[in-house]
């Protein structure tokens, strides 16, 4: 076993950019800024092109440079003018440098381009005083300034290590799909604890509602902070005390990070930074593993949605929770559920139940014996073809043993998907109207070979264990 | 439908003893007292034979006279002398009047005899001042005196109606098996509310912890009374403020009484006083009804116990609860359970589950990810032949999907009955060691014809509905 220091050194050799790479990206940055200024002048937009984000702060990973070019416009410009003109500038800049681009949507539309294999986001924002935010992107210059003023040279490597670790264990990214840690959050964690190892050590003893408040805005008022920020981890933004930098971090991802931190400190390994790829089993082996489990798998496949990833994943997760809740309310024991999408052609929900069918009978709790509803209950169930036994009295309530009319989870799902009035979100419901397949247990083999991404997802679910979890 | 008054009149004609019956029992009482005094003198015991209880108070039901002959001895007599001599007196008295007797046990042994078809209990007690009780029976003279001084002639009929109603719906008797209402309690209820109908009307709106306190001992201190008496119904004894006359009444019986009271007031019927006998189905019909239910019945038959009924039923109920709890802890859904005994030859537990088997897999919740036990948990389950999937993280805890080694309720019961260390009480465990049979579903037909009492019990369980519940 390598020591922690040895592992970190190996990783740093892979992620710290070489002088050549820094120079190359630097030259591109200068060209982008110059061209953007030129285009802004052409359009008569008083824009100040600046690069913020990980490139400016020197915390990007080798091979993964991401240039965030901000077009900072005066606050008196209208949103419409800002949006339209910055889109035109972005398109022209990328094309002039021989790249290609697509239009993306966040709060405003913006340009995501690729130039020489490097991703470039060209994003408009307003030049405002701190606290007088007009758009979400207005904070970025302040974030960059805050970090640059405080992060030393070694700190940058420490941020890189933390980012790579988080990427390796799958908790990096504040997008809806991931629900994890942003780059800025990594930087603040390093500023708070001093280094990568120290962040991991601290994370071992975080508790739900843990507060990191670099500027002490909530000093002595921690309970106020917990009321304002309901999220499991609270990192108060040094440039905006009303914002939780960790608001995207889900309880699940927080838990994975904390657990991985502890395991890595106990047994350092490259696996945490670079997880071994999960190689799907041959179809026969997969089928045989599935049939041996003794549980029930339900795979719901449906048509793609024409929406940006954050909307897709927001609707996916929320609809999956609704389906799971529906099954639980019916009496099923849902062991696990997961969503998958290739963000283009195919979407899937996967649910594992301990049994496909419910017992044929169930207790039905009636009203308190002294309540006004007693008579209606007795009238209903004394002569009811679904009554198996009773009514009798248990404690102070009537109880009756009833026949369950429907006991098959798949049948119930097929039926409920006709109306989808159980909380399936609109875009998902539309997609299901276009195409919907429900496969159970052995039938899932049919879909296994349809897409490598889907096969990997099914394998992940089969194993159910994060790849960074040690094997012995 | 008869009116309430009509029904009550019909019942009263059946339960109010005729003059001939009163005279006959009265003559027996005089003979018993005279003979008891004679025997006491012979033994040199200063005993004052008196009849208390329902005969003295005139609240007994025609055909069900019960004579409670108390031998009241001075407080300076030792318990041993009192017990030995009163037994001898009891035996001699019953034999002299041509009856037969057996020795019974309560706080002391006493004689239960039958003379001319009338049951006679000959019980010793101490002559004490109120409050200075030396034995449980010492309160009886005071109870009788209290009721006799207050209950008018019409009140006696009202008590009889209430007793017959309670017998009809199966809630009469403060013994452990019944867990219901004593005769004295019926008398106090009539004193409190004035009449049979008024008691039923009041009972409709009783709540758990309802207090009846004729002498106002706890006036303004009702919460004290609820602390002292944890039982669902509190009726403070007018002759002893530290005693709850309703302490035997279980929540279940209280609920049955309240529900039956409401239904009877809404639709008066003789059925509440004289339930139609439940006629067991033919074996084939029973078997077919059982197999159509879709649930699982487990009938546990075991050898008789050589104990008095209160000990028998105390151990029966407590052991049945333990078995039920064991199955629930294993993951089974126990729908109902019931105990049966003929108090002589055969005892039975009956459990109904919604399924005989558990699913083959179960989620096992591990320790919080940040706890010290995490490593032990991971070491145990990462390479475990029972691990189907995981461990993964859910919320802040480790979870793993495990194979269940044992899934059959009957097998698990057979195994656990070998040691019985799940809370099976000592006498039941001994009886099971002598003879134990576990029958499931179709096998239960074998026992159905073995005893009419058992068949009726199985029928009651099959129907699951009290006989007084209206049918339409």
Mark whether A122 and A23 lie in a shared domain: yes
**Contact between chains at B333 and A359 (C-beta distance less than 8 A):** yes
Q: Which of B254, B275, B296 is the last residue of a domain?
A: B275
- CA-CA distance, B158 to B272, in Å (whole number)? 15
Confidence of residue A316 (pLDDT cuts 50, 70, 90): very high
pLDDT of residue A472: 41
| Residue A1 domain-assigned (yes or no) | no
> Closest Cα partner for B349 from B465, B463, B429?
B429
On the 0-12 / 13-18 / 19+ scale of CB atoms within 10 A, A154 is: exposed
- Listing DSSP states for A64-119 in one string gives --EEEEEEEEETTS-HHHHHHHHHHHHHHHHHHTT-EEEEEESSSEEEEEEETTEE
Cβ pair A260, A201 in contact under 8 A: no
pLDDT digits (tens, 9 = 90+) for A217-227: 999 999 999 99
pLDDT digits (tens, 9 = 90+) for B446-455: 999 888 999 9
Cα radius of gyration rounded to whole Å, chain A: 27
Of chain A, the percentage scoring pLDDT greater than 90 comes to: 82
Interval A190-198 mean pLDDT: 97
**What letter does residue A400 receive in the DSSP assignment?**
E
- CA-CA distance, B340 to B343, in Å (whole number)? 9
| Residue B468 domain-assigned (yes or no) | no
Mark whether A107 and A256 lie in a shared domain: no
Cβ pair B82, B126 in contact under 8 A: yes
ω before B391 within 30° of 0 (cis)? yes
Mark whether A208 and A268 lie in a shared domain: yes
Q: Residue B382: give the domain boundaries.
A: 361-403
Ordered strands of the B387-394 beta sheet = B361-368, B397-403, B387-394
> Which residues in chain A touch residue B266, judged by CB atoms under 8 angstroms apart?
375
Instruction: List b or e across A389-403, with b for residues whose CB sees 16 or more CB atoms inside 10 angstroms.
Output: bbbbbbebbbbbbbb
**A450 pLDDT above the threshold of 90:** no
- CA-CA distance, A93 to A105, in Å (whole number)? 18
Cβ pair B61, B160 in contact under 8 A: yes
Six-digit token string for A185: 């959050």
Longest dimension (CA), chain B: 85
pLDDT digits (tens, 9 = 90+) for B94-105: 999 999 999 888
| Residue B339 domain-assigned (yes or no) | yes
Cβ pair B264, B155 in contact under 8 A: no
Mark whether A305 and A219 lie in a shared domain: no
The CA–CA distances, whole Å, from A212 to A237, A244, A247 equal 9, 10, 12
> Which residues in chain A touch residue B471, judged by CB atoms under 8 angstroms apart?
382-383
Neighbours of B78 (CB within 10 A): 9
pLDDT digits (tens, 9 = 90+) for A50-63: 999 899 999 999 99
The SS3 of residue B56 is helix
Residues with Cβ < 8 Å from A75, sequence gap 6 or more?
A: A126, A127, A128, A132, A134
Place of tokens 């041959």: A282
Q: Which of A251, A382, A461 sits opposite B469 (nearest CB)?
A: A382
Of chain A, the percentage scoring pLDDT greater than 70 comes to: 99
Among A289, A351, A353, A369, most B C-beta atoms within 10 A, so best to mutate, is: A369
Size of interface A-B (CB pairs under 8 A): 163
Mark whether B308 and B335 lie in a shared domain: yes
| Residue A351 domain-assigned (yes or no) | yes
**B155 pLDDT above the threshold of 90:** yes
Mark whether A104 and A189 lie in a shared domain: no
Interface of A with B in 373-432 (CB under 8 A): 374-375, 378, 382-383, 388-398, 401, 403
Mark whether A210 and A93 lie in a shared domain: no
**Contact between chains at B295 and A359 (C-beta distance less than 8 A):** yes
Mark whether A287 and A262 lie in a shared domain: no
**Contact between chains at A252 and B394 (C-beta distance less than 8 A):** yes
Q: What CATH number is given to the structural domain containing A26?
A: 3.30.460.10
The SS3 of residue B331 is coil
Q: Which of A293, A391, A471 sits opposite B465 (nearest CB)?
A: A391
The ipTM value here is 0.86
Rounded to 10°, the helix A4-15/A153-169 angle is 100
pLDDT digits (tens, 9 = 90+) for B32-71: 999 999 999 999 888 889 999 899 999 999 999 889 999 9
Q: Which of A92, A107, A135 is the last residue of a domain?
A: A135
**Contact between chains at B393 and A252 (C-beta distance less than 8 A):** yes
Mark whether B396 and B259 lie in a shared domain: no
- CA-CA distance, A352 to A334, in Å (whole number)? 6
Task: Measure A65 CA to nearest chain B CA, in Å.
Answer: 31
- Listing DSSP states for A149-206 in one string gives HH--HHHHHHHHHHHHHHHHHT-B--STTT--B-HHHHHHHHHHHSSHHHHHHHHTT-
Q: What CATH number is given to the structural domain containing A449?
A: 3.30.70.590
The DSSP H or E segment spanning B94 is helix B79-96
**A178 pLDDT above the threshold of 50:** yes
Mark whether B411 and B399 lie in a shared domain: no
Interval B143-152 mean pLDDT: 95
Among A231, A383, A392, most B C-beta atoms within 10 A, so best to mutate, is: A392
Neighbours of B251 (CB within 10 A): 16
Q: Which of B266, B378, B389 sits opposite A463 (nearest CB)?
A: B389
- CA-CA distance, A147 to A57, in Å (whole number)? 7
**B1 pLDDT above the threshold of 80:** no
Question: What residues form DSSP beta bridges with B340?
Answer: B348
Place of tokens 């002048």: A41
| Residue A394 domain-assigned (yes or no) | yes
Asked if B471 reaches chain A (Cβ–Cβ under 8 Å), the answer is yes
> Closest Cα partner for B324 from B413, B404, B252?
B413
Cα radius of gyration rounded to whole Å, chain B: 27
Q: What CATH number is given to the structural domain containing B166?
A: 1.10.1410.30
Q: Which of A243, A275, A307 is the last residue of a domain?
A: A275
Asked if A361 reaches chain B (Cβ–Cβ under 8 Å), the answer is yes
pLDDT digits (tens, 9 = 90+) for B375-421: 899 989 998 999 999 999 988 899 999 999 999 999 999 999 988 78
Confidence of residue B201 (pLDDT cuts 50, 70, 90): very high
**Contact between chains at B259 and A398 (C-beta distance less than 8 A):** yes
**A466 pLDDT above the threshold of 50:** yes
Cβ pair A128, A134 in contact under 8 A: yes
Asked if A289 reaches chain B (Cβ–Cβ under 8 Å), the answer is no
The CA–CA distances, whole Å, from B310 to B306, B315, B341, B426 equal 12, 9, 12, 15
Place of tokens 């039920």: B324
Domain tally, chain A? 4
| Residue A472 domain-assigned (yes or no) | no
| Residue B142 domain-assigned (yes or no) | no
Mark whether B251 and B193 lie in a shared domain: yes
| Residue B4 domain-assigned (yes or no) | no
pLDDT digits (tens, 9 = 90+) for B347-368: 999 999 999 999 999 999 999 9
Among B369, B391, B397, most A C-beta atoms within 10 A, so best to mutate, is: B369
> Which residues in chain B touch residue A389, judged by CB atoms under 8 angstroms apart?
293, 336, 461-465
Mark whether B390 and B446 lie in a shared domain: no
Cβ pair A316, A347 in contact under 8 A: yes
Q: Which of B255, B333, B388 sits opposite A396 (nearest CB)?
A: B255
Interface of A with B in 190-219 (CB under 8 A): 204-208
Interval A197-211 mean pLDDT: 94
């Amino acid at each position: 076993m390598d020591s922690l220091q040895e592992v970190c050194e190996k990783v740093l050799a892979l992620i710290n950019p070489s002088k050549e790479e820094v120079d190359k990206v630097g030259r591109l940055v200068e060209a982008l800024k110059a061209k953007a200024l030129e285009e802004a002048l052409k359009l008569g937009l008083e824009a100040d092109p600046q690069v913020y984000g990980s490139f400016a702060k020197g915390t990007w990973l080798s091979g993964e440079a991401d240039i965030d070019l901000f077009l900072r416009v005066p606050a008196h410009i209208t949103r419409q003018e800002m949006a339209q003109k910055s889109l035109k500038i972005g398109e022209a800049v990328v094309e002039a440098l021989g790249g290609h681009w697509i239009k993306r949507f966040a709060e405003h539309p913006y340009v995501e381009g690729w130039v020489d294999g490097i991703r470039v986001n060209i994003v408009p924002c307003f030049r405002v005083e701190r606290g007088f935010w007009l758009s979400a992107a207005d904070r970025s210059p302040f974030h960059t300034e805050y970090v640059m003023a405080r992060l030393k040279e070694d700190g940058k490597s420490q941020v890189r290590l933390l980012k790579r670790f988080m990427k390796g264990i799958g908790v990096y990214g504040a997008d809806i799909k991931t629900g994890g840690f942003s780059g800025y959050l990594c930087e603040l964690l390093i500023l708070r604890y001093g280094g990568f190892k120290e962040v991991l050590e601290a994370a071992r003893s975080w508790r739900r509602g843990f507060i990191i408040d670099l500027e002490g805005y909530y000093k002595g008022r921690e309970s106020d902070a917990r009321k304002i920020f309901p999220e499991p981890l609270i990192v108060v933004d040094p440039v905006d005390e009303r914002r939780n930098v960790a608001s995207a971090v889900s309880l699940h991802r927080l838990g994975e990070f904390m657990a991985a931190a502890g395991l890595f400190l106990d047994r350092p390994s490259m696996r945490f930074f670079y997880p071994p790829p999960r190689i799907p089993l041959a179809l026969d082996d997969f089928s045989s593993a599935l049939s041996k489990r003794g549980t029930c798998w339900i795979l719901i496949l449906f048509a793609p949605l024409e929406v940006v990833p954050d909307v897709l994943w927001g609707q996916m997760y929320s609809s999956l929770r609704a389906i799971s809740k529906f099954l639980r309310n019916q009496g099923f024991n849902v062991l696990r559920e997961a969503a998958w999408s290739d963000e283009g052609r195919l979407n899937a929900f996967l649910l594992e139940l301990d049994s496909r069918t419910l017992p044929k009978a169930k207790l039905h709790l009636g009203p308190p014996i002294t309540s006004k509803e007693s008579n209606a209950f007795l009238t209903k169930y004394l002569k009811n073809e679904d009554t198996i036994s009773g009514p009798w009295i248990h404690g102070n309530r009537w109880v009756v043993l009833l026949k369950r009319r429907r006991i098959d989870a798949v049948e119930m799902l097929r039926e409920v998907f006709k109306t989808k009035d159980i909380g399936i979100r609109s875009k998902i419901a539309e997609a299901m109207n276009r195409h919907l397949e429900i496969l159970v247990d052995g039938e899932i083999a049919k879909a296994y070979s349809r897409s490598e991404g889907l096969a990997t997802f099914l394998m992940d679910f089969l194993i159910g264990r994060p790849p960074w979890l040690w094997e012995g």
